Amino acid sequence: MTAPPRTILDRIGNTSLIALRHVRPARGARILLKLENENPTGSMKDRMAVAMIEAAEADGRLKPGGPVVEYTGGSTGVSLSLVCAVKGYPLDIVTSDAFSREKLDHMRLLGAALHIVESDGGRMTEALTKAMIAQAGIIAQAKGSFWTDQMKNRDQIAAYHRMADEIWRQTDGRIDGFVQSVGTAASLRGIAERLRHHSDALTIVAVEPAESLVLSGGPSGAHRIDGIGAGYVVPLWQDGIADEIDRVSTEEATAMAFRLAREEGLFAGTSTGANVIAALRLAERLGPDATVVTVMCDTGMKYLKTFGAALAADA
């Protein structure tokens, strides 16, 4: 008999991988979606949050009951709020009104103290990212907090190595392409590194907002795809991580999120929409005998009010 989990944190990982049935190219590769919405907070960020905290516990950077601080667009904050609630660490989160109200409420419900940095009309910009980082640094210094500092923290990469191993096992090693959008770049980097350890004969595609083409060498800009596109080249990004960089607009990503819900019954956020747009493009090029894997980054339940407003505007 399998032992029951000790805490909810033991339910992180080992998520399902399913094939898209309707949202797929007519003569292209099959597309498999890693269902990270199955994690406890409904997001892949649960993986990195527990990895960062446990690494800091192990080497003494985080003492029992010590304070933690982070800046976040939402999903990382929710995941850290869960981990800190279970482990008993007070948590300060620096975030913004640019991100979904559902995520902010979820963090508060899990006990985090929120510090809100106002955005430029609800848009994600380089200036907003850097203002949030600066505020987190001030709090860390004032309270002596352990700052997880997700944009620079390499401890999280191991969590995505494990995710890549899951993907490899679930596909029986039959994978020709992997597609992932870039926020901190940790998930793309960790998964790509590990998949290439198994086989270097696959195509890795990074996805960024079409409105902010910094990874492609273009100008920084504002967009509304939660969790990706920081507006500058993030520290964990490395040239050569990806074979290609694809660009997806907020409008395209939102439309695909709605399509996934209506045609596949998969209710996801806009970063997932961006992933699937890019995966479709890659699948068309690779042909019918190939397999492309991408990620359902989180559940659309985190964006109910945002999506409801978009639906009302279209009505």
Could you list the active site residues? Answer: 45, 271
Which amino acid appears at position 159 of this protein? A
What burial class does residue 80 get, using C-beta atoms within 10 Å of its C-beta: 0-12 exposed, 13-18 middle, 19+ buried? Answer: buried
Of 241, 229, 139, residue with least CA distance to 189: 241
Query: What is residue 298's three-state secondary structure?
Result: strand
CA distance linking residue 78 with residue 85, whole number of Å: 10
CA distance linking residue 15 with residue 297, whole number of Å: 11
Strands (E), 16-158: 17-19, 30-35, 68-71, 91-96, 113-117, 146-147
Residue 131 has phi, psi (to 5 degrees) of -65, -40
